[in-house]
Amino acid sequence: MSEIVLRKIWHRGDYRIARFFDKRDNETRLKMKQIGARFSITHLCWHLPYNKKNYNIFKTNFSNIKVEKTNSASHQKQSKNKNNDKASVERQRKKLPIVKNHERLSSSAFTVDELTHKFHSFEIDHRLNLRVLDSVGKYWVLKMNYVQSYVKAIKKVKGVHWNGTHKVYMVYRHPQVKANVENIFGVPLFGEDYFKKQTFAKDLSVEVHKYIDDERYIRVNFSDDFRLVDVLRRVSQSRYSKALNAYLIPATPNHKKSLELLLSDLEVKIHYHVAKTYFKSSNKINKKSVELTKTKQTLLDMVPDFAKPYVEDMTNMLMAVNYSTSTIKSYTGAFISFLRVNDYADPATLNRKVVVKYLSSLSERGLKSASGHMIVNALKFYFKNVLEWDDTKSWNIPRPKKEKTLPVVLSVDECQRIFKAVKQPKHKLILLLAYGAGLRVSEICNLRWRDIDFDAHKIMVKSAKGKKDRQVMLPYSIVEYFKTYEELYKTKNYVFEGQIKGRPYSTESCRAIMKRAVKKAGIRKKVNMHTLRHSFATHLLEGGTDIRYIQKFLDHSSIKTTTVYTHISQKSTKKIESPLDKMAKKYKNKPKN
């Protein structure tokens, strides 16, 4: 075994005995686990609470120990960190100025160690792992670990909001906001690049180039002006490439005319670096192609360069067998999570034991069996279709046992309260469709006017889950809502359009509508948009509708999926009386002696 260095450190609000040794020494690492030591990613060491008992455990189990004494300055610094939480909150309360004439920092990301080196006279709580990332628009971006006292303080600062998608704090680039945030942490964090309203550039221009990776597109580089961004993002089927800092637009004559027309109002100079023949009608790209291209690129950007061949092979095969975009995202996302845990090792070199260990870790983290099923499906698909392993080698992965859970269902009265809580016509119609026709949220967003037959009171759902079409009912009571909505919004293709004209409403926005309505209606059940679909099926069943018709309305391949609603329907059980209720009635009516 290699030499083991013992050192006293301050970690997670207490002193610890830290042990440093060669990470390749598997024998020592195994012993550390056996004596109950924990690994710290922050300090890259194994540690136990600092006391005599744990020191004796080390002496008993390891003979090659070297004790490294901490210098007095370091010891004092660690002692000060004990009261760091309370001190930072007190500074925030009193708004004490702590920094004078500090130098400007660059906008690139920096770590706590770099901050401590640069501002050696200030203290930073090492639990935070504080980082300032590149600025985004009018915000500085702050990333840190959760420490309750700091989080409470920063939430009270006006001009700071939490971005749940990227798990960061967005700090408005303003002098007062900057001072308030820096008072909390006790160090200067941001530069003086405060947000100022952009002045209009006199000469706007765009450069049109070939897009080498896919000649169906043109690459449009633009001068830094928010007006150009606003126009380019509204061009049909355009998508922004962060790597190229340019917009990619289909190279068709119609898109060329559209681009020129939209830019003409701003008197933008367009410099073409492609021939006129580059724009062809055959370059027309349908919605499916756009979604698949964007999905593939997003998935490839999630992994380092050396691991991209594994992910690309996976996505190519999924596309070759014509799987839907959502399935590609789910399978490849689960596959990437598995690779990440195993340091992006070649999947062909991993064995069944590694897979079992990963599935075990999912259960240990308290995740549901659905997470395990997804990774099993993804790995089996990869092993069988990409690596072309035979069934005996690729189908021996254990599958987690499914939980037998019942869907949450709203009563008719609760549904009515939700609808009443929504006043905006567009939002109300979305919720009414989800309940009245039993539509999925994606089906509502992709609904087109041509799919609705108002005379026959039918809705044709095109290419739904599993690439299947089906017909569902159009409730008579909802027709008037459609007429009012059409007069107000005048959409042409999609019934519900998002911020960009001609593009469908986002599923995230629909879920946000439901969340706000549930909160306003005062319903405590844990429900979402899909709950309205469950309620639709349950209420049909309780109303006497044959379960086979409900199966068709819901687009279930198997009747077994639909029969789950028989377990939550109250039609057959509401007349059954509990023996406790019978007993209560008996003794209630019994005359007293």
Closest CA to 220 of 295, 261, 272: 272
Reported confidence tier of residue 221, pLDDT bands at 50, 70, 90: very high
Q: Which of 115-129, 377-391, 435-449 is the least confident region?
A: 115-129
pLDDT in tens, 502-547: 788 989 999 999 999 999 999 999 999 999 999 998 888 888 888 8
Domain 289-394: which CATH number of 2.10.10.100, 1.10.150.130, 1.10.10.10, 3.10.105.10? 1.10.150.130
Mean pLDDT of 254-262: 90
Burial 123-157 (b: 16+ CB within 10 A, else e): bbbbbbebbbeebeeebbbbbbeebebbeebbeeb
Task: Give, in order, the Cα–Cα distances in Å from 554 to each of 52, 139, 328, 331.
Answer: 65, 45, 23, 24
Per-residue pLDDT at 414 exceeds 90: yes
Helix axes 479-489 and 425-436, enclosed angle (nearest 10): 150
* Main-chain phi, psi angles of 554, to 5 degrees: -85, -10
Confidence check: pLDDT of 247 > 70 = yes
Which of 370 and 261 is assigned the larger pLDDT? 261
Question: Residue 327 pLDDT more than 80?
Answer: yes
CA–CA separation, 165 and 406 (whole Å): 29
**Of 76-90, 153-167, 328-342, 481-495, the least confident:** 76-90
Q: Phi, psi at residue 87, to the nearest 5°?
A: -65, -40
Q: What architecture does CATH give domain 412-566?
A: Orthogonal Bundle (1.10)
429 falls in which pLDDT band (50, 70, 90)?
very high
Domain boundaries, given as residue ranges, for the chain:
4-70, 81-185, 205-285, 289-394, 412-566
Are 335 and 311 within 8 A, CB to CB? yes
**Catalytic residue annotation:** 440, 465, 530, 533, 556, 565
Mean predicted confidence (pLDDT) in 104-126: 45
Whether 299 contacts 310, CB under 8 Å? no
Q: What is the per-residue pLDDT across 354-409, written as a single tens digit (0 to 9) for each?
A: 888 888 888 888 777 878 888 888 888 998 888 888 765 555 778 888 777 788 89
Whether 169 and 163 have beta carbons less than 8 Å apart is answered as: yes
Residues shown for the chain: 593
Assess contact for 473 and 553: CB atoms under 8 A. yes
> Could you check whether 205-285 and 289-394 share the same CATH topology?
no
- Band the pLDDT of 122: cuts 50, 70, 90: very low
pLDDT digits (tens, 9 = 90+) for 35-92: 888 887 777 788 888 888 888 887 787 777 777 765 544 444 444 444 444 444 444 4
The CATH code of the domain at 205-285 is 3.40.1170.30
Q: Which residue has the higher pLDDT, 24 or 420?
A: 420
Q: CA torsion 56→57→63→66, rounded to 10°?
A: -60
Which of these ranges, 44-48, 196-200, 226-230, has the smallest mean pLDDT?
Answer: 196-200
In contact, 383 and 389? CB cutoff 8 Å: yes
- Across 90-94, 435-439, 559-563, least confident range: 90-94
Q: Tell me which of 492 and 226 has the higher pLDDT.
A: 492
Q: Which of 538, 569, 567 is nearest to 554 (CA)?
A: 538
Say yes or no to pLDDT of 103 above 50.
no
For every residue of 11-71, DSSP letters joined together read ETTEEEEEEE--TT-HHHHHHHHHTT-EEETTTTEEEEESSHHHHHHHHHH-SSEEEEPPP
